[in-house]
């Protein structure tokens, strides 16, 4: 990271999608935002309306890009699409319901959410959590090092957000889910001071949806 004065990163998850409602795993695949997802993104946009963002970084998945454009709210903030911010690739699980996945991969599916350090990605040809952490770690480091100060907004996905938080906290993978639920359009704010120390100001906050 280069020297900077004060940098604040705002992180959010995309709004609710059709596959979220259908309990389908998305990963690298995509589905449209629902009416509720669009509404929630607009509510977050209103909450952030007084923040002067220098840039918006977003996953290149359509659901995240759509959310980013709602948050941009017709401003001139540049939106930068990053493939490295895409959700973990769930392989053969993608597009299937959680019930369908449990019928064939009960142990793997349960371990992902309850014992992530034991999660086996190989049977369903998916991305590993270690590979995801490396991918996400690189892109966050690049974002921080290329922005010396100001406010940056990142729009991404649930497992990616949990991974970013764990990585910045230097937490092991088994602690991946030791955070509040990553709700669609929830807001996490991380403050970096001039000595490159970081502080989580809020974590997975949904007060704008109340």
Hey, which residues are catalytic here? Answer: 14, 87
Under 8 Å between Cβ of 40 and 185: yes
Residue (of 123, 154, 136) closest to 55 by Cα position: 154
Q: What length does the chain have?
A: 210
DSSP 149: S
Angle CA(166)–CA(129)–CA(30) in degrees, nearest 5? 100
Class of residue 55 by CB neighbours under 10 A (exposed 0-12, middle 13-18, buried 19+)? middle
Residue (of 192, 166, 157) closest to 57 by Cα position: 157
**In whole angstroms, what separates CA 91 from the centre of its chain?**
19
In the chain, count of helices (H) and strands (E)?
Answer: 6, 6
Q: Please name the residue ranges forming H helices in the chain.
A: 18-21, 35-47, 62-72, 98-114, 129-145, 158-168
Under 8 Å between Cβ of 59 and 65: yes
């Amino acid at each position: 990271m280069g020297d900077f004065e004060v940098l604040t990163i705002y992180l959010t998850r995309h709004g609710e999608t059709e596959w979220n409602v259908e309990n389908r795993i998305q990963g690298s695949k995509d589905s449209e935002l629902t009416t509720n997802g669009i509404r929630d993104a607009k509510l977050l946009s209103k909450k952030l309306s007084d923040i002067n963002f220098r840039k918006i970084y977003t996953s290149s998945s359509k659901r995240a890009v759509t959310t980013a454009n709602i948050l941009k709210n017709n401003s001139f903030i540049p939106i930068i699409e990053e493939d490295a911010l895409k959700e973990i690739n769930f392989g053969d699980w993608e597009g299937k319901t959680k019930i369908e996945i449990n019928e064939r991969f009960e142990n793997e599916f349960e371990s992902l959410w309850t014992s992530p350090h034991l999660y086996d990605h190989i049977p369903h040809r998916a991305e590993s959590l270690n590979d995801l952490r490396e991918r996400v770690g690189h892109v966050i480091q690049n974002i921080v090092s290329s922005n010396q100060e100001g406010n940056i907004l990142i729009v991404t996905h649930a497992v990616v957000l949990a991974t970013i938080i764990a990585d910045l906290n230097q937490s092991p993978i088994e602690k991946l889910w030791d955070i509040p639920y990553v709700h669609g359009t929830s807001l996490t704010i991380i403050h970096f001071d001039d000595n490159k120390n970081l502080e989580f100001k809020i974590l997975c906050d949904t007060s704008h949806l109340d």
